[in-house]
Amino acid sequence: MSARTATLRDAVGLGLAVGLYGVAFGAAADAAGLDVWQALVLSALMFTGASQFALVGVLGAGGSGLAAIGSALLLGTRNTVYGVRLAPLLAPRGVLRRVGAAHWVIDETTAMAVAAPDRELGRLAFWVTGATIYVGWNLTTVLGALGASGLGGTAQAALDAVVPAAFLALLWPRLQRTSPEAVVQRRVAVGGAVVALLLTPVVPAGVQVVAAVVAVALAGRPRHEEAVR
């Protein structure tokens, strides 16, 4: 099997698997009170799973729109770092290609592009993964929202578990690694959870998520003495 064929296989396979996950977002959006078209607009224009789940999770818990947007923006800042890493690799020409590339900079497309054996295959992996996930994510968002609308009261109540389960599914593979970076990630995850749990009884819904993200971000900054070394 050629490197190009293997790259296409992996990109499409990952794209299909991740795209199917849009069903969970559609169901979570419906549980939070969003209409089908609102869920679809979020998937089409925001297109970054963790931020989407954060937004509907805060809204579903009764949080304000400002808190929901703040949570989504904070979680989405990592895509900026990805963009800096991918810019020289992709080097898109023209406004449309630049906008399209920026819109598809997410965890999966970055991982596929960076892992490719050379620049040409990296570009191929990025675009194929992005296109596959984008189409699948939006289609399954609609299916999830429509399916949730037809459920009874008991099943609707069960959807409250969708958002935390989705976050855990996104986080769990990172926490199982044994590298030094993974040890730090586990500490950060536990620290963020502790901050969020302690603040939940005393702050409006959604504020604890923002505070947890800020806390772990500050904790992860290198100390001045270490930075000098």
What pLDDT, in 10s, does the model give residues 44-70? 999 988 889 889 988 888 888 888 888
**Which residues in 159-170 are b (16+ Cβ under 10 Å) and which e?**
beebbeebbeee
Structure tokens at 130: 């992005």
pLDDT bucket at 17, cuts 50 / 70 / 90 = confident
Residues 38 and 146 in one domain: yes
Residue 162 lies in a domain: no
Residues 107 and 192 in one domain: no
CA atoms within 13 A on the CB side of 35: 3
pLDDT of residue 229: 47
Residue 63 lies in a domain: yes
Residue 89 lies in a domain: yes
Residue 132's identity, in one-letter code, is T
pLDDT of residue 157: 56
Domain that holds residue 218: 176-229
Give the CA-trace dihedral at 152, 36, 196, 215, to 10 degrees: 170
Q: What single DSSP character describes residue 160?
A: G
Q: Is the pLDDT reported for residue 213 higher than 90?
A: no
Residue 167 lies in a domain: no
Residues 109 and 17 in one domain: yes
Residues 147 and 194 in one domain: no
What is the maximum alpha-carbon separation in the chain?
61
Cα 143 from chain centroid?
A: 19
Alpha-carbon distance of 187 to 184, in angstroms, equals 5
Identify the CA nearest to 23 among candidates 161, 137, 134.
137
pLDDT of residue 212: 73
Residues 101 and 20 in one domain: yes
Q: Could you give the number of structural domains in the chain?
A: 2
pLDDT bucket at 28, cuts 50 / 70 / 90 = confident
Residues 6+ apart with CB under 8 A from 130: 15, 104, 106, 109
Residue 159 lies in a domain: no
Residues 6+ apart with CB under 8 A from 27: 144, 145, 147, 148, 159, 162
Q: Is the pLDDT reported for residue 21 higher than 70?
A: yes
CA distances from 54 to 3, 51, 59, 89 (A): 37, 5, 9, 30
pLDDT of residue 75: 78
Residues 6+ apart with CB under 8 A from 69: 55
Residue 171 lies in a domain: no
Alpha-carbon distance of 6 to 97, in angstroms, equals 25
Residues 137 and 200 in one domain: no
pLDDT bucket at 89, cuts 50 / 70 / 90 = very high
Task: Please compute the mean of the pLDDT values over residues 183-211 and round it to a whole number.
Answer: 76
pLDDT of residue 117: 84
pLDDT bucket at 227, cuts 50 / 70 / 90 = very low
Percentage of the chain lying above the pLDDT 70 cut: 77
Residues 6+ apart with CB under 8 A from 184: 220
